Structure 1
Amino acid sequence: MPDNAAGGLRIVYAGTPDFAVPALDALHDAGHQVVGVFTQPDRPAGRGRRLQPSPVKQAAQSLDIPVYQPQRLDAEAQADLKALAPDLMVVAAYGLILPRAVLILPRMGCINIHASLLPRWRGAAPIQRAIQAGDDETGITIMQMDEGLDTGPMLMRRPLPIAADETGGSLHDKLAALGGNCILDVVDGLAMGRIKAEPQPETGVCYARKLTKAEALIDWNAPAMNIERQVRAFNPWPVAQTQWGKRVLRIHSAHLHQGDRQAAPGRVIRAGKSGVVIACGEGALVLETVQLPGKRPISARDLANAGLKAGVMLGRDAETNTR
């Protein structure tokens, strides 16, 4: 028998990073019974490497919701979850795999807020991979969780266009807000018995592997379009970068160069008041905002004033010469 109102459901929330905060806030602000929050243990962060609570823990504490931080969802954690007597568990970027014993513990199971239009971009980094691939749109999928990797049946799919200047950070914020809106509709629908899960399509499956610092290194032999997407996708982390002699130059923003001037990939074509233009495997890239180690981000024009000259080669093993 369906509940008379979503507020009648006992909800346990599981999430860790900033992405998961808007949905938690939305559930609480709408008057739902969030009886407990599961989040990752505090981690060392910052220059002092002091233990820092996750964004979701901070949000839960500000809302006076009990917080649980198990290293693993073992028997002890499962006992804590069972004691909360949840009707439903809502998960958003939690960071721990839910074993079958947890998936079946809530009366209505576990549902997940995923930042892509499934089955495209299952996995860890759907936001960045969508930008990197040049997708025109992405979105939020709310799915009933099963034991697979983002393979469960879908309860809601809501698209979101990807702007031409979208970064990983800006798209993250838009999708986090959209996830908060979607979860309210889904929880209300489940409580009233109005929503039924549909299987994911069998075609269009692809995986969004986890981001690594190693792939932030720019390959100037790639087309300028691909590098420009890499710069946007990896902002704010891990930030696209290249070698400038023995220094690492981080590139926070850039745009495509309109012109047909050619040079060896990685060669600085122009550096001055009008900016810095770098040759690529196809086309060229105009640097906008850059950063040297230990320094603040600056404009590429300021970088030219600081010593980056036309003719210099950027990239791994490149010589800083003006041939």
Structure 2
Amino acid sequence: MKSLKIIFFGTPEFAKTCLQAIHESPHQVVGVVTVADKASGRGQKIHTSAVKDYAVANNLPVFQPEKLKNPEFLEEMKNLKADVFVVVAFRMMPKILFEMPDLGTFNLHASLLPDYRGAAPINYAVINGEKKTGATTFFINEKIDEGNILLQEEIEISAEENAGMLHDRLMEMGAKLVVKTLNGLAENSIQEKPQPQVEHPKNAFKIFKEDTKIIWDQSSEVVHNFIRGMSPYPCAFTVLNIGDETKSLKIYKGKFEISEDKNPAGTLEIDKHQFKIFTRDGVYLPEELQLEGKKRMSVKDFLNGFQQFDHISMA
């Protein structure tokens, strides 16, 4: 099998795992492109991406362009004479860049395309109660996540799995799929195919803060899936009145029960032994949560922190 020369584009841990798998394969990484270093936090400490950290530790050439159309950067990419570009969890690429290598540029996406195009495919697969999802490698074109499919692999979603757990499993599976795709391109054994035409593919738009608020006037199962799909990040939240204060409450984990109780959705029953929030058809029982200004804790520790439960209500 021919060893391909690769330029890798990516930023977070999900991408780093793919870079590592390529670096440990017979193929050669001739360059790594990642986001510019950022100063953040109280001390404005410089933070580097997981992809950069791996590349530096393994003596791989790193490029951190502010603009992907920068002529000097494009010239650097051209001079590396890569056979193929691999993109995982990066930003949108200009045509002048993704058309550069002879074998093209392919992306790894954490869904079974055409469903769940967009920024948050893992979260939405869990939120929507899917029983399976997967990963897809596909050639990049000018439309986001719409290029021809190279390889796809399915994975089952277990009933109590949250987005973080699924992310970690897809990360490992996706890294293997990337190497498998590179092997197939090297051997010319992959037949690319257009994505199926689906009238209403399921979307996975970027999640903003306002999208993470729990709507309690839904079925218990829908609420449960929403909380699983947002955990551990960005994390679903609700709002409590505690005495004279209004505080947000993140919920990481819990369970639900279908019940005939007629309490209105979005009200709660709380005492030193239990914390129940009523839904349209039952109750949700938080198990791991985080009150604004506090650390993440079990519901038992949360309840132990209060004396007067009659001062707590849903906002």
- In structure 2, the partner of 1:313 is 313
In the superposition, the TM-score normalised over structure 2's length comes to 0.93
Unpaired stretches in structure 1, ≥5 consecutive residues: 319-323
Return closer, same or farther for 1:26/1:179 CA change in 2, 3 Å cut-off: same
Cα contact 1:268–1:310 (8 A) shared by 2: no
> Does the Cα contact within 8 Å between 2:259 and 2:281 map onto a contact in 1?
no
Further displaced range: 264-273 or 218-227: 264-273
User: Corresponding residue for 2:170?
Assistant: 175
Deviations for 1:263-317, whole angstroms, at most 9, x for unmatched residues? 12222134333x3111012321011011122322111122222227379431xxx
- Partner residue, 1:22: 17
The 2-side partners of 1:257 and 1:49 are apart by 45
Distance 1:310 1:130, change over 3 A: farther
Cα offset, 1:50, TM superposition: 1.7
Q: Does 1:257 align with 2:257?
A: yes
Question: The residue matched to 2:313 in structure 1 has which SS?
Answer: coil
- Which residue is equivalent to 1:150? 145
Structure 1 residue aligned with 2:207: 211
**Does the Cα contact within 8 Å between 2:5 and 2:30 map onto a contact in 1?**
yes
- Structure 2 SS opposite 1:121: coil
3-state SS, counterpart of residue 272 of structure 1: coil
**Distance in 2 (alpha carbons) for counterparts of 1:116 and 1:295:** 35
- Greater CA deviation, 140-149 or 287-296? 287-296
Counterpart Cα distance in 1 of 2:182 and 2:226: 36
TM-score, structure 1 normalization:
0.91
Q: Which residue of 2 aligns with 1:303?
A: 302
Q: Which residue of 2 is the match for residue 103 of structure 1?
A: 98
Aligned pairs for 1:64-83 (under 5 A) are 64-74=59-69, 75-83=71-79
- The residue that corresponds to 1:321 in the other structure is none
Q: Between 182-191 and 39-48, report the one with greater CA deviation.
A: 39-48
Aligned pairs, number: 308
Q: Distance in 2 between matches of 1:85 and 1:208?
A: 35
Q: CA RMSD in A?
A: 1.6
Is residue 220–residue 258 contact of structure 2 (8 Å, CA) maintained in 1?
no
Instruction: Using the TM superposition, name which of 140-149 and 221-230 deviates more.
Output: 221-230
Distance 2:228 2:19 in 1: 28
2:49 and 2:67 mapped to 1: Cα distance? 16
- 1:282 maps to 281
Cα distance in 2 between the residues matched to 1:223 and 1:112? 36
**Shift, 1:205, TM fit:** 2.1
Match of residue 90 from structure 1:
86
Q: How far 1:166 sits from its partner (Å)?
A: 1.3
> What residue number does 2:226 align with?
230
